[in-house]
């Protein structure tokens, strides 16, 4: 029979804490793993919520990019109306309250145009350094920076005509303020800028032919620079593949393939126009618009305007077929360079500058120091 003695050591509940080198037990490790696993769904939900809140401004532009033409046709309140933007709100031209320099001279003005499913925020925030091109350019050069928002689901030519009308109103409202005008377009935004120039030039030519005053095209004489950043000037290989897939599935003519083809064909008119960079009404209205090789109106560079064709490349080298086809991942380099800008028949005084930025994808073209420095130098050089 064992005697119980009082001099035996009493177990210390805090002994584990007093021994820092002691490893947690197998049960403690299992409990910790189970605790983390239980908390994972809540942490993920919290992350998704915070990410969604931070990027909720993209929800409406994405909806409009996918189905904006249908929203506009139904006069849905979610259909974006083209407008300049300030403080996350539409601003009427008259309410911009633009002012000349302190000496009363006109100011250089830069208008930024976003791409498919984008909005004005892509020009303003989200860079690792904080500000993006717009605010930095305004601070560095003193230029007036304006940001356009538009329904990217509409035909590019429809947006081009609306943009032409908006610039016309801008010049008519602030004739003593707007000096040299620069347009900066990313992706589809560059095509909208080119379309607007086409319609402005056509209207100016019609006014000149009829000996009428051409005030409606008053912004063209102010236009000095057009920056085309990652713009599919000869069309998007992604949309070309989508169209081809839809055609093939329709030709197979089975119920499942017809159904899938019908779903693909629900994409917006703006997306469809990207197939061959359709810039004028007559091309998408043509009976052969859905052919594999549809008619396409030539839209040449505007005379007296400097075009800056800025191309991104996922690769280090710009001398390969992969570079030409895939380019920045969304826009092929061959398309971004654009046959119309390399046409040897262009007049010798036409100014076309081309820059390829290696190891940049479609999105990082909007937040790269070298791209910004090029933009800044060109705008500052016009002052």
Residue 321's pLDDT is: 85
Q: What is the pLDDT of residues 206-235, one digit of tens each?
A: 877 766 544 444 899 999 999 999 999 999
CA distance 135 to 145: 8
On whether both 47 and 168 belong to a single domain, the answer is no
Tell me: do 355 and 308 sit in the same domain.
yes
Write the pLDDT tens digit of every residue in 174-192: 999 999 999 999 999 999 9
The sign of the CA dihedral 169, 174, 177, 179 is positive
Closest by Cα among 346, 355, 349, 347 to 377: 355
Its pTM stands at: 0.84
Are both 34 and 115 inside the same structural domain? no
Q: What contacts 22, CB < 8 A, 6 or more positions away?
A: 16
Q: What's 94's DSSP letter?
A: G
- One domain, residues 123 and 196: yes
User: Are both 205 and 353 inside the same structural domain?
Assistant: yes
3-state helix, strand, coil in the chain (%, to 5): 45, 15, 40
42 and 172 share a domain?
A: no
**Model confidence pLDDT, tens digit, residues 263-319:** 889 999 999 999 999 999 999 999 999 888 899 999 999 999 999 999 999 988 777
In a domain? residue 119:
yes
- Residues 49 and 158 placed together within one structural domain of the fold: no
Q: What is the mean pLDDT of residues 250-257?
A: 89
Q: Is the pLDDT of residue 329 over 90?
A: yes
Please identify, among 7, 39, 54, the residue that sits at the C-terminal boundary of a domain.
54
**Cα gap 261→248, rounded to integer Å:** 8
Q: What is the pLDDT of residue 1?
A: 43
Percent of the chain's residues with pLDDT above 70: 83
Segments forming the whole domain that contains residue 128: 80-237+293-381
**Token pair 């005008």 is at which residue?**
181
Say how many domains are in the chain: 2
CATH number of residue 167's parent domain = 3.40.50.1820
* pLDDT band (50, 70, 90) for residue 21: low
260 found inside a domain: no
What is the per-residue pLDDT for 39?
60
Instruction: Mark whether 124 and 35 lie in a shared domain.
Output: no
Residue 36's pLDDT band, with cuts at 50, 70 and 90, is low
Place of tokens 């996922």: 314
Q: Is residue 267 part of a domain?
A: no
- Position 207 in a domain: yes
Segment (H or E) for 182: strand 178-186
**192 and 148 co-located in one domain:** yes
Strand order across the 107-113 sheet: 89-91, 83-86, 144-149, 107-113, 178-186, 223-229, 306-313, 351-358
The answer to whether residue 249 is domain-embedded is no
pLDDT at 240 over 70: yes
Across the range 15-30, mean pLDDT stands at 61
35 and 144 both lie in a single domain: no
Share of the chain above pLDDT 90, in %: 67
Q: Judge whether 250 lies within some domain.
A: no
Q: How many CA atoms lie within 13 A of 281 on its CB side?
A: 8
Residue 330 sits in the same domain as residue 186: yes
Q: Which among 303, 302, 324 has a CA at the least distance from the CA of 313?
A: 324
3/66 Cα distance (integer angstroms): 85
Does residue 18 have a pLDDT over 50? no
- The lowest-confidence range among 30-39, 141-150, 160-169, 256-265 is 30-39
129 and 212, same domain (yes or no): yes
| Backbone dihedral region for residue 342 (phi beyond 0: left; psi -120 to 50: alpha; all else: beta) | alpha
**pLDDT tens per residue, range 337-352:** 999 999 999 998 999 9
In a domain, residue 335? The reply is yes
Residue at 41 is within a domain: yes
């Amino acid at each position: 029979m064992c005697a119980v003695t009082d001099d035996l050591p009493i177990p210390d509940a805090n002994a584990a804490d007093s021994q820092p080198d002691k490893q947690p037990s197998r049960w403690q490790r299992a409990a910790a793993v189970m605790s983390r696993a239980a908390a994972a769904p809540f942490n993920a939900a919290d992350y998704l919520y915070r990410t969604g809140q931070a990027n909720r401004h993209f929800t409406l532009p994405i909806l409009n990019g996918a189905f904006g033409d249908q929203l506009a046709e139904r006069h849905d309140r979610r259909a974006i109306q083209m407008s300049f933007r300030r403080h996350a709100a539409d601003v009427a031209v008259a309410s911009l309250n633009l002012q000349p320099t302190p000496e009363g001279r006109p100011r250089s003005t830069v208008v930024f145009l976003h791409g498919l499913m984008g909005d004005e925020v892509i020009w303003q925030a989200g860079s690792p350094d904080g500000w993006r091109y717009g605010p930095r350019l305004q601070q560095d050069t003193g230029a007036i920076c304006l940001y356009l928002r538009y329904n990217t689901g509409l035909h590019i030519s429809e947006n081009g005509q609306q943009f032409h009308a908006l610039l016309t109103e801008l010049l008519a409202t602030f004739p003593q303020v707007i000096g040299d005008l620069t347009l900066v377009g990313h992706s589809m935004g560059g095509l909208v800028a080119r379309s607007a120039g086409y319609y402005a030039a056509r209207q100016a030519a019609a006014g000149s032919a009829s000996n009428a005053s051409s005030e409606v095209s008053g912004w063209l004489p102010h236009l000095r620079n057009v920056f085309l950043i990652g713009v599919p000037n000869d069309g998007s290989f992604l949309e070309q593949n989508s169209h081809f897939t839809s055609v093939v599935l329709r030709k197979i003519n089975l119920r499942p393939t017809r159904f899938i083809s019908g779903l693909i064909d629900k994409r917006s008119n703006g997306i469809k126009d990207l197939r061959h960079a359709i810039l004028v009404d007559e091309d998408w209205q043509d009976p052969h618009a859905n052919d594999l090789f549809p008619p396409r109106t030539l839209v040449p560079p505007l005379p007296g305007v400097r075009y800056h064709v800025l191309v991104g490349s996922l690769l280090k080298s710009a001398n390969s077929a992969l570079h030409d086809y895939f380019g920045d991942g969304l826009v092929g380099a061959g398309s971004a360079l654009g046959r119309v800008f390399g046409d040897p028949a262009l007049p010798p005084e036409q100014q076309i500058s081309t820059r390829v930025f290696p190891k940049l994808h479609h999105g990082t073209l909007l937040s790269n120091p070298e791209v910004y420095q090029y933009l800044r130098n060109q705008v500052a050089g016009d002052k």
